[in-house]
């Protein structure tokens, strides 16, 4: 019987496969989206997030391995007597070593890969791609839905009316915009600010996933249902899990209402402030004096 795989390695393997699958590299293994993230209980540590990617003992349908190229140098028939003994080759880095996970990816590289994107129909009407903005080493990332008219004009996320409210929320948390990172699920404005469609989210989400992987924040706050549903792979309504701690890879994830929703429903502001206070507690932040807007 093969030796049991260590739990920590199982988690690494599961996380890595989940990441590849989310990037759209599909043939690795079976669908994992069984929503078991919601069976986890809140505010345990990120390690407790054994997501639905956990290794199954059933046979996965793996593609046939390609024949391994023979990379070894031909061994001479006899070594000359004086030749030093060949040193053992250093161990090949494992695909699952934490340090080699797309180790040299950067926000700049992701932006370059995005290019002048035409991967989905949103490119037809956009003026500017809104990639994301803020501190690349932020402990806190806000993920919105997609740019509106102001963002499309300026190339920056959350700079319109909803953005002003988000800025006030960030400042009420004792932070400034430059301390956090702000981005969206789709990087081009949907016409008439409609909800992005599935194919648009599908085309754009690998870039968001790479951004989150590079920044690797302590906390991700999903602003509204589109971001929450995309990252959590769920169709549940946001009110079912708003304000609860969930896990997203090595980050803690909290979904709350979108600032645009708060502009239409100011009565929901206290609920969002409660959510943000939970975030502040995890990040060790003191609120700015005075009542938040
Ligand atoms: N709404 C969003 O979801 N994102 C923005 O950048 C602006 C408004």
Output the average pLDDT for the chain: 83
pLDDT at 11: 81
Q: Averaging pLDDT over each range in 25-39, 54-68, 82-96, 198-212, which range is the top one? A: 198-212
Query: With 60 as the cut, is the pLDDT of residue 278 above it?
Result: yes
Query: With 90 as the cut, is the pLDDT of residue 40 above it?
Result: no
Query: With 80 as the cut, is the pLDDT of residue 75 above it?
Result: no
pLDDT band at 62 (very low <50, low <70, confident <90, very high): very low
Q: Distance (Å, rounded) from C-alpha 277 to C-alpha 205?
A: 28
Tell me, using a 6 A CB cutoff, whether residue 272 lines ligand 1.
no
Residue 236's alpha-carbon distances to 219, 241, 271, in angstroms, are 21, 8, 19
Q: Distance (Å, rounded) from C-alpha 14 to C-alpha 2?
A: 19
Average pLDDT score over residue span 83-96: 60
Average pLDDT score over residue span 198-225: 98
pLDDT band at 267 (very low <50, low <70, confident <90, very high): very high
Tell me, using a 6 A CB cutoff, whether residue 163 lines ligand 1.
yes
Contacts of 79 (CB under 8 A, 6+ apart): none
Tell me, using a 6 A CB cutoff, whether residue 162 lines ligand 1.
yes
* Residues, the chain: 293
- Start-end of CATH 3.40.470.10 domains in the chain: 102-283
Nearest ligand 1 atom to alpha carbon 258? 3
pLDDT at 38: 72
HEC secondary structure over 59-112: CCCCCCCCCCCCCCCCCCCCCCCCCCCCCCCCCCCCCCCHHHCCCCCCHHHHHH
Query: With 60 as the cut, is the pLDDT of residue 79 above it?
Result: no
Residue with tokens 């046979």: 59
pLDDT at 67: 52
> CATH homologous superfamily for 102-283?
Uracil-DNA glycosylase-like domain (3.40.470.10)
Nearest ligand 1 atom to alpha carbon 144? 3
Ligand 1 pocket test target in 260, 262, 263 with most atoms within 8 Å of CB: 260
Which letter does DSSP use for residue 140 in this model?
Answer: E
pLDDT at 78: 54
pLDDT at 105: 97
Nearest ligand 1 atom to alpha carbon 184? 4
| Spatial CA neighbour of 129 closest among 110, 104, 161, 153 | 153
Tell me, using a 6 A CB cutoff, whether residue 158 lines ligand 1.
yes
Tell me, using a 6 A CB cutoff, whether residue 166 lines ligand 1.
no
**CB of 179 closer than 8 Å to CB of 100:** no
Average pLDDT score over residue span 158-180: 98
Tell me, using a 6 A CB cutoff, whether residue 259 lines ligand 1.
no
> Using one digit for the tens of pLDDT, what is the confidence trace for 136-148?
999 999 999 999 9
pLDDT at 5: 82
Q: Using CA positions, which residue lies closest to atom 7 of ligand 1?
A: 158
Which letter does DSSP use for residue 223 in this model?
Answer: E
Sign of CA dihedral 201, 216, 293, 241: positive
Specify the range with the lowest mean pLDDT, choosing from 99-103, 184-188, 279-283. 99-103
């Amino acid at each position: 019987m093969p030796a049991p795989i260590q739990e920590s390695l199982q988690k690494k393997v599961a996380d890595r496969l989940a990441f590849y699958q989310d990037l759209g590299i599909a043939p690795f293994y079976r669908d994992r989206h069984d929503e078991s993230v919601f069976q986890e209980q809140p505010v345990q540590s990120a390690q407790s997030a054994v997501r639905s990617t956990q290794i199954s003992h059933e046979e996965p349908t793996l593609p046939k391995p390609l024949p391994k190229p023979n990379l070894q140098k031909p061994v001479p028939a006899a070594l000359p007597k004086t030749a030093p003994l060949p040193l053992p080759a250093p161990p090949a880095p494992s695909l699952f070593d934490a340090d080699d996970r797309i180790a040299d990816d950067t926000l700049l590289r992701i932006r370059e890969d995005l290019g002048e994107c035409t991967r989905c129909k949103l490119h037809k009407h956009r003026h500017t791609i809104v990639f994301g903005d803020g501190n690349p080493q932020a402990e806190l990332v806000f993920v919105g839905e997609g740019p509106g008219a102001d963002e499309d004009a300026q190339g920056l996320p959350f700079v319109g009316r909803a953005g002003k409210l988000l800025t006030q929320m960030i400042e009420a948390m004792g932070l400034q915009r430059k301390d956090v990172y702000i981005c969206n699920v789709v990087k081009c404005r949907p016409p008439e600010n409609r909800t992005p469609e599935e194919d648009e989210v599908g085309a754009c989400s690998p870039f968001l996933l790479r951004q989150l992987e590079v920044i690797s924040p302590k906390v991700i706050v999903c602003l509204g249902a589109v971001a929450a549903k995309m990252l959590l792979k769920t169709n549940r309504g946001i009110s079912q899990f708003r304000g609860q701690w969930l896990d997203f890879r090595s980050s803690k994830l909290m979904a709350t209402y979108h600032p645009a929703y708060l502009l239409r429903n100011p009565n929901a502001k206290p609920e969002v402030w409660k959510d943000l206070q939970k975030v502040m507690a995890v990040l060790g932040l003191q609120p700015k004096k005075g009542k938040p807007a």
